[in-house]
């Protein structure tokens, strides 16, 4: 019902007082079923659908369903936090359409609209909606590709933990790091765009992206940070329930060892340090190749002159031939380096 509070009291740990929406056993039997919907008490309060004691679905903490216009009626949910507790409250503008929110016996949270002409309820919103919506469809450090029918992919710097299961389409085992973290300044962050933020993130308040990265580096158990609109979120432990191209997406900065190959952007100062490192290495390699080419060219010229005097003739080297021989020498050295 509108304005009804869903949530828990601050004394929840001692009193157990909590308000949930429960599903029925079936459409004909209103007795409590296997599913319930409410707010989790830990961290920044997200919303969950539980199947008994196991999570079945997670709404994003940053208003995954932030309301909208349904059949001319504006629905607006909000989270209220105070001394008494944390609660979810929803309301809607009064109009010619009546709305109701229920949890179906088959675990779907539905917004229903009463259609007066047809004298029936119509589902105008339902969650979960795709495979990626189901909790931890992909395992730890494994992202669910929302645009590709629930395909799971390891994050950059990770590989399937169980290769045989992965080949058979069993992805819940997740992914493991290719290179262990250094737990020091050698660790960097890879930026993944349009990501559903992992479960159980910790809200660190408003700060700069550099300070957010520093907060994560200070904790050896920190695996990622999410930064958006000056708000910093930190994740301690495995990254679970990830999704790519989520409707509530934001950039996710995943912590990896500094020697990881780059296939996505790095964040903050890590990106700048990496660019400087790559530029330095490239410059050094180029210098070595040029010097090697010059030395090879000089050796070639000396060889030609010795051969000319030996044959009783002077080797006449034109400027064009000089440049041609120099170019060939440099290209030859570069090709050899590439083959190595």
User: pLDDT, tens digit, for every residue of 276-315?
Assistant: 444 445 555 666 665 665 656 566 566 655 555 445 444 4
If pLDDT is split at 50, 70 and 90, which confidence band does 203 have?
A: confident
Same domain, 248 and 201: yes
Residue numbers of the domain that contains 67: 6-129
* pLDDT confidence of residue 269: 40
Helix, strand, coil percent values for the chain (each to nearest 5): 25, 35, 35
Q: Which of 111-125, 243-257, 298-312 has the lowest average pLDDT?
A: 298-312
297 occurs within a structural domain = yes
Mean pLDDT over the full length of the chain = 75
Place of tokens 């580096």: 217
Residue 1 lies in a domain: no
Shared domain for 238 and 294, answered yes or no, is: no
Is 101 found in the same domain as 26?
A: yes
Cβ contact 176:251 at 8 Å: no
pLDDT of residue 153: 92
- pLDDT 10s digits, 278-287: 444 555 566 6
Q: Let me know whether 147 and 65 are in one domain.
A: no
pLDDT of res. 59: 82
Q: Is the same domain home to 116 and 138? A: no
Residues 143, 256 within the same domain: yes
The per-residue pLDDT for 288 is 63
More confident residue, 85 or 37: 37
Helix, strand or coil for residue 332? helix
Averaged pLDDT for residues 79-101: 74
Mean per-residue pLDDT for 11-17?
61
Residues 6+ apart with CB under 8 A from 201: 43, 44, 61, 226, 233, 234, 235
Task: Report the share of the chain in percent with pLDDT over 70.
Answer: 63
Which string of DSSP letters, residue by residue, matches 191-242? EEEEEEPPSS-EEEEE--HHHHHHHHHHSTTEEEEEEETTEEEEEES---SE
216, 251, 266: which is the final residue of a domain? 266
Instruction: Say whether both 177 and 66 belong to one domain.
Output: no
- C-alpha span between 189 and 210 (Å, rounded): 11
Pairing of strands 242-244, 142-145: parallel
Q: What are 86's two structure tokens?
A: 């944390």
pLDDT at 239: 96
Q: Are residues 207 and 327 in the same domain?
A: no
Does the pLDDT value for residue 225 go beyond 70?
yes
Entry pTM:
0.68
- Does residue 85 carry a pLDDT above 80? no
Distance CA 59, CA 42 (A): 14
* Of the candidate ranges 121-125, 138-142, 221-225, 288-292, the one whose mean pLDDT is the lowest: 288-292
User: pLDDT, tens digit, for every residue of 25-47?
Assistant: 998 898 999 999 988 765 566 78
Specify the number of domains making up the chain. 3
**Residue 187 shares a structural domain with residue 69:** no
The token pair that represents 184 in the structure block: 């020091």
What digits encode the pLDDT tens for the residues 182-195?
A: 866 788 999 999 89
Of 266, 288, 320, the residue that ends a domain is 266
Residue 235 shares a structural domain with residue 257: yes
| Residue 215 placed within a domain | yes
Q: Are residues 87 and 163 in the same domain?
A: no
């Amino acid at each position: 019902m509108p304005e009804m509070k869903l949530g828990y009291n601050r004394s929840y740990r001692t009193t157990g007082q909590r308000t949930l929406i429960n599903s029925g056993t079936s459409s004909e039997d209103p007795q409590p079923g296997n599913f319930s919907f409410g707010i989790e008490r830990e961290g920044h309060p997200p919303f969950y659908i539980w199947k008994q004691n196991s999570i079945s679905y997670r709404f994003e903490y940053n208003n995954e369903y932030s309301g909208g216009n349904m059949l001319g009626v504006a629905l607006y949910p909000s989270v209220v936090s105070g001394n008494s507790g944390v609660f979810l409250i929803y309301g809607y503008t009064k109009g010619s359409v009546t709305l109701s929110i229920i949890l179906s016996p088959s675990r779907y949270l539905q917004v229903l609209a009463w259609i007066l002409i047809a004298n029936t309820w119509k589902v105008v919103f339902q969650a979960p909606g795709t495979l990626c919506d189901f909790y931890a469809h992909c395992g730890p450090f494994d992202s669910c590709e929302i645009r590709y029918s629930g395909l799971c992919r390891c994050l950059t710097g990770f590989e399937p933990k169980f290769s045989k299961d992965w080949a058979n389409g069993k992805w819940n085992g997740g992914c493991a790091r290719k290179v262990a973290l250094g737990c020091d300044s050698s660790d960097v962050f890879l930026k993944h765009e349009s990501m559903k933020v992992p479960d159980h993130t910790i809200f660190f308040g408003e700060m700069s992206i550099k300070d957010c990265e520093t907060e994560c580096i200070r904790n050896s158990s920190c695996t990622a940070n999410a930064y958006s609109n000056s708000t910093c979120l930190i994740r301690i432990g495995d990254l679970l329930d990830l999704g790519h191209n989520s409707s509530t997406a934001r950039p996710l900065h995943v912590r990896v060892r500094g020697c990881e190959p780059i296939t996505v952007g790095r964040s903050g100062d890590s990106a700048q340090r990496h660019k400087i490192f790559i530029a330095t290495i490239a410059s050094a390699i180029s210098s070595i190749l040029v010097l090697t080419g010059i030395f090879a060219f000089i050796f070639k010229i000396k060889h030609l002159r010795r051969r000319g005097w030996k044959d009783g003739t002077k080797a006449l080297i034109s400027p064009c031939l000089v440049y041609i021989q120099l170019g060939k020498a440099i290209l030859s050295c570069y090709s050899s380096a590439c083959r190595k």
